[in-house]
Chains A and B, each alone.
Chain A
Amino acid sequence: MTKHQYDVLIIGAGGAGLRAALEIPEGFSCAVLSKVFPTRSHTGAAQGGIGAALGNEEEDSWEWHMFDTVKGSDYLGDQDAIEIMTKDAIRAIIELEHMGMPFSRTPEGKIAQRRFGGHTKPENPSDPDSKRIAVKRSCYSADRTGHVMLHTLYENCIKQKVHFFSEYFVTDLIMSGDACAGVVAMDIATSEVHVFHAKAVMLATGGYGRVYRITSNAHVGTGDGFAAVYNNGLPLQDMEFVQFHPTGLWKLGILISEAARGEGGILLNNTGERFMERYAPTVKDLAPRDMVSRAILTEIREGRGIKGSDGTYYVNLDVSHLPKEIIDDKLPEITGFARTYLGVEPTKEPIPVQPTAHYAMGGIPTTPDAEVTKDKKKTIVPGLYAAGEAACVSVHGGNRLGTNSLLDLIVFGRRGGKAIARFIGETDFAPLPTDAADRTLSKIDRIRNSKGKEKPGALRLELQEKMMEKVGIFRNEKELTEMTVEMKSLRERYQNISIDDKGVVFNTDLMEALELGNLIDTAEAITHSALARQESRGAHSREDYPARDDKKWLKHTLIYKADAAPKLDYKPVSITRFQPKERKY
């Protein structure tokens, strides 16, 4: 077993992790651990843009961006944190441009901006209460914004000589008393377990899309950071809020960006009706994602979906009426996906789409400086930080607006990096427990030597299908309760998994078995949090409790792992500028 010591460890090399790494000053040692080579991280799959009220295309203000984010969150987002993010957005985008990110440009050479779901301005700017209309706020680079952002951040890390451990899989946190003192990780190339001792650890491990069968997320999105926290007695927050993106490619779930609708694409049902006009009369197809996903599912349930060759249903996303230049210059990647994967020519025919599991609004609770907190009093865990999709600040509340995820990464990645820089300057290493790696070693031993009948691939598929069925877009007590029972049995069966690959070289069989454990922990937290919340808010839609209930439920969920069943607690929401109102578009 190899031991390492670094002042700072950053786990995950997507947007948040890389942005944080750039803040660690010279003179301190820092390593970034990632289970894939950095540019393979899932940030690179983001398409449509990054939100900031630059006002390059039309009048805009960060207050409007803040209001939209609060309303989009169904008032569950913490307004102090949302204010920080939307204010800092403008600086953050300019900084990305200075780092070299290639943006699409306006005729004057400024960063180009486009419309996106839920981003609005008052029709009469001098009357903030006037009707809200869509605004061009999403800064973009064709439909590859996440890709060029990820590459730009990685390029800047090369420039700053950041040290990477690529293809290292973090299996556990090392807790030393109340503080985090490092991580345990497996070098995938050799299966060797390494102990990394550190003053500060940042979890920037992304989301958990692979809990569901239909997802836009990469195979690496297995909730590793959530499981690491959950298994160390720390809570997860608001896990019931799972974003289903309305437009995944039918059957595959591959993301078709909201930019398609931002540029003028429309959704149609089996009669050719533009059905979003009924659900969101003002912003129509550019309503927030939770509403559009529910609308699509409602159309399908009421018999207005289109039946596909395999008997499953979809609706159509039509961009064929848009000028060819728009499709070629602004949406090349996603129209390419439609051609490649479904054999559909988007300039001539509509694209079959269905909602796809996309984003975790919930996650590891943090302060706006990315410090992880462990209870409803927001007690800080010394040395432990989280940022990006892994974290729940909470800026997205019950539903995230498109373009706010890339923004979240760079704003809170940077703030976390700065907070860590302060912390390591004034702190010494917490003592390293001698048994730090024991739990990982015994888990790996058990899986490697097991002769159990369960196989990781089959068990994972069962979990993913049951989560689709019982903890999807519409939920109810009966199915959620059934899923809690399923979770117990899946967890027991997981103890009996065995793998074929007993070797040590690049053992992806073992990796996937370990990842499955993380998926099960994450799914348990989602299911129990969802069962407890007896209201409908944002992406959490209960058929048995269809209304939002601010009196009882305007609060954040905290869930802790426990022996019999997880324990729940709640903490208040920060409300500063905008009192909750009915959410209509």
Chain B
Amino acid sequence: MKVILRIQRYNPEKDTEPYYQEFTLEAGDDKVRILDLLHEAKWKYDGTLTFRRSCAHGVCGSDGIRINGRNRLACSTLLRDVNYRKPIVIEPLPSTAIIKDLVVDMSDFYKKYEAVKPYLVNNSPPPEHERLQSNEDAEKLFESAKCILCACCTTSCPSSWSDQNYIGPAALLKAYRFAFDTRDDAGDERLDVVDTPDGAWRCHTIFNCVEACPKEINITWHISQLKKRLAQREM
């Protein structure tokens, strides 16, 4: 069957502003990935079409894009997940600077991720064996540890759009990942980073991040746990 991708294009070497280009492509069935169609367009019709990708099955987080107005991964969105009877609109993640076509500048996203001290801090000398942790405590971390840093959440967040200094849902999720690790000693030092107007308190529980997350992480719930921890600290 034939499907049409309506792709936002922008090449800073030639274009003054973005425009849309339509590609009519052949899809074997409705289980084709949007990434497969992007490849088809690039490999068969226009080698200048530019996007990031790597694993092609939703674990590396390279190919976050906007598909019919929703932030998703090109490799874990199939034709049957969208209305393919009409042109499928493909755009770069919103509220980020475009480098070229679907490739955006991720540096601010990474900077905010690094700001939350995304690593375990443990001040006691390491024991000879593993540090014990109950499976229950370990599983409290698993959902947040699924994050693939694709930026689908942060770039879908209205609070992020309106406040450029807001650290954003992905960084807060990472803060949760370590603040709730029973092995972590960073305590206040870690919480101070997110206990600011541009930190956890900027989250207005709009839930766009949850809707956008391709790994089905309930990010807002994790941020609310973080807020609870911050509030308890005040008391």
**Interface residues of A, Cβ cutoff 8 Å to B:** 36-37, 39-42, 44-45, 93-94, 97-100, 102-112, 141-142, 144, 147-148, 151-152, 155-156, 158-159, 189, 218-220, 252, 254-255, 310, 329, 333, 337, 340-343, 455-458, 461, 499-501, 503-509
Contacts and interface: CB of A to CB of B under 8 A. Distances in A.
A218 B60 CA distance: 9
B99 A505 contact: yes
A109 B132 contact: yes
B120 A99 contact: yes
B118 A155 contact: yes
Interface in B105-130: 106, 110, 114, 117-120, 122, 126, 128-130
Contacts of B132: 108-110
B143 to A, nearest CB: 10
A99 B183 CA distance: 10
A45 B148 CA distance: 11
Given A39-B149, A102-B141, A509-B47, A340 B58 contact: yes
A501 B50 CA distance: 10
Interface string B198-212: 000000000000000
A340 B118 contact: no
Select the residue from A40, A42, A105, A500 with max chain B CB neighbours within 10 A.
A40
A333 B215 CA distance: 9
Given A40-B61, A109-B133, A159-B119, 17 more contacts: A44-B60, A45-B57, A98-B122, A104-B135, A107-B135, A147-B59, A147-B146, A151-B145, A158-B118, A189-B99, A337-B57, A457-B39, A457-B43, A505-B12, A505-B100, A509-B42, A509-B47
Interface residues of B toward A: which range?
A: 35 or more
27 contacts: A36-B52, A36-B54, A36-B60, A42-B55, A42-B60, A94-B128, A100-B119, A102-B181, A104-B139, A105-B137, A105-B138, A106-B135, A141-B145, A142-B142, A148-B145, A155-B118, A155-B119, A219-B54, A252-B57, A254-B57, A341-B33, A456-B43, A503-B13, A505-B12, A506-B99, A506-B103, A508-B42
B138 A218 contact: no
Interface of B: 11-14, 28, 31, 33, 39, 42-44, 46-48, 50-62, 76, 78, 80, 99-100, 103, 106, 110, 114, 117-120, 122, 126, 128-135, 137-139, 141-142, 145-146, 148-149, 178, 181, 183-184
SS of B interface (majority): loop
Nearest to B60: A40
Contacts of B48: 500-501, 503, 509
Nearest to A160: B119
Contact of B50 (A37, A100, A457, A508): A508
Contacts of B100: 505-506
Nearest to A167: B52
B131 A103 contact: no
Contacts of B106: 37
Contacts of B54: 36, 40, 42, 218-220
Contacts of A343: 31, 80
Contacts of B114: 158
B135 A109 contact: yes
Query: Looking at B44, B57, B122, B183, which has the most chain A CB atoms within 10 Å of its CB?
Result: B57
Give the 4 A-B CB pairs with smallest separation, nearest first: A100-B120, A457-B43, A500-B47, A109-B132
Contacts of A99: 120
A45 B47 contact: no
A514 to B, nearest CB: 13
Given A343-B31, A504-B13, A98 B146 contact: no
A37 B138 CA distance: 27
Contacts of B110: 37
Contact of A147 (B31, B39, B148): B148
A491 B196 CA distance: 59
Nearest to A111: B130
Nearest to A106: B135
